[in-house]
Structures are given as structure tokens and as C-alpha cells.
Structure 1
């Protein structure tokens, strides 16, 4: 009985407990196992994303396209037309962010059941590490490590 009272008080103070809240925030309110594909903001400028999305809509019918509300209105309009033509539900999702970076997830297509699809990114447009990351990796390998830098005569 005391546990029931404590659960009731916790729900009142903190709200209903959520399962994997960080994962839900990342994928615009859905779980990773339900995601068919994601599109990053930088990929929405490519014309090929529409063809990819239509193929996925046909392969996995009955899903919902979740769109970050911070996406530009011109892209939102394009996505609205795309979903209307393919009879797909569309939901605009508000996030706690005020701006959207190029490497942020802007669009998520998900189903209402788990499919556990392994690769959810666009196959022909994989994100590559930035030039600064590649540069740092090359510098680390060529420098010889901490001790060689410490004892080297320059």
C-alpha cells in the first residue's frame, strides 16, 4: 500500500514515467525500433530525398512522417505535398531547440509497430566525418604520441 501511495505521489510530482525519453527526443517522439528512415536537415536540400521517401512509403505503408517544426516552410510545403500524394500521415513536432543544425534529424518516417530496421539513413548519401575530424585523426597518427612529443628535440 505504501508503494502505491509513493507511485501516486511520484506521478503527481514528476508526471508519468516515460520509456527511453532520450531516444524519443532524438527520433522526434518515437522509438528507434519503429523508424523506417531519417533525414538530416542537410539531406533535405537534395532532390533525391523525395524519390527515396516515396520508395520507402510504398515499401512500408501506413506510417507517419514526423517533421521537425523548425524546418523551413518551403521544405515543409514540399513534404506536405509529398505525403498527400502518397497518402501518408504527417505530424509537425515541436522540440525544445530554437535552431536546427545541418546534422540534426529533421524528418523521421515511422510505423506504429516495431520493425527494427538496421540502416535507417539514406543509402546513397551517407554522412562523412567533417574535415576537421579527419585532420585531427591524421595529426594523431603522424605525431607519434604523447611521449615522443615530450621527448622529441624540436
Structure 2
């Protein structure tokens, strides 16, 4: 292990000791990815997508806690907090400058590693109705001519 120099001591004195995986902590509202049960993006929180999955995850993980991004307006977080209160899940809001750079709106997490493979909710693309597709589909000039000879 290398010796610390004066700059290292000054940096630690001004900013505190370095935490391992600091970039991960900034992205996931102060926790590590390996501890997360479920992560919701800001868009999912604002549109209330993923509430069912969040509630199911809270049922299955009663010892977890909910961390909320403080840069998301409280009016969007009412349902998440309501579900957390329903299952006696403690929740806290993180409002620091580092959390501002992340796209994460809320995470359900433990204080220890659980190494869950998939922590994000897969958003299904909206499927347009078949009727709308046929109405908007405009055949090309050549396909019209070809249909005359068929």
C-alpha cells in the first residue's frame, strides 16, 4: 500500500475520506447497486409507472427502506410514500447536489448486499392499435400499380 502524502491528508480533511464506488453512490442516491431491490427512474416516479412493482417489492422485502430523490417534486411522490407507510417501510429524501445528476427517482434498498440481477422495471413500448396502423399506412406508388395487375 502506498504512503499518504500531504495532498492526500489535505483532501481528506476538506472533503472527507473517499468511499469505495463513489460514482455508484452518486447515481443510486447514496447507496450501492448491490443493495438495491428496485430502482425507479424520475420519469417512472412522475408518471406513477411501477407502483404495482414497488408495492410487490415492499411486500416481499419488509426490512428494506425507500430512498427518494429530493429533486423530484413532492406531488409526484405521494403514492410512493403512501405505499411505504402502508407496509411500514421507512423512507427518506436525499436532496444533495450529487443526487441532482442522476436519473434515479427512488430506490428500495437494504443496508447490506443482496446482489439482485435486475433492479430496473422494463418499460413496455406502447403498441398502436392494428386499425390505426392500416389507416396510417399509405401504400407507395409502385405498390398501387402492382395491385392493378394482380
TM-score, scaled to structure 2: 0.69
The Cα of 1:17 is off from its aligned counterpart by 1.8
Q: Does 1:26 find its partner at 2:54?
A: no
Contact 1:71 1:100 survives alignment (8 Å): no
Matches within 5 A, 1:2-151: 3=3, 11-96=12-97, 104-123=103-122, 125=123
Q: 1:14 to 1:75 in 2, by over 3 A?
A: closer
CA distance in 2, matches of 1:97, 1:15: 15
Question: Gaps (5+ residues) in structure 2?
Answer: 126-150
Contact 1:28 1:66 survives alignment (8 Å): yes
Q: 1:29 to 1:62 in 2, by over 3 A?
A: same
| Structure having the higher Rg | 2
Contact 1:39 1:121 survives alignment (8 Å): yes
Please report the RMSD computed on the Cα atoms of aligned residues, expressed in angstroms: 2.9
Give the number of aligned pairs: 123
The Cα of 1:43 is off from its aligned counterpart by 1.4
CA distance in 1, matches of 2:11, 2:49: 48
Question: Gaps (5+ residues) in structure 1?
Answer: 128-154
TM-score, scaled to structure 1: 0.67
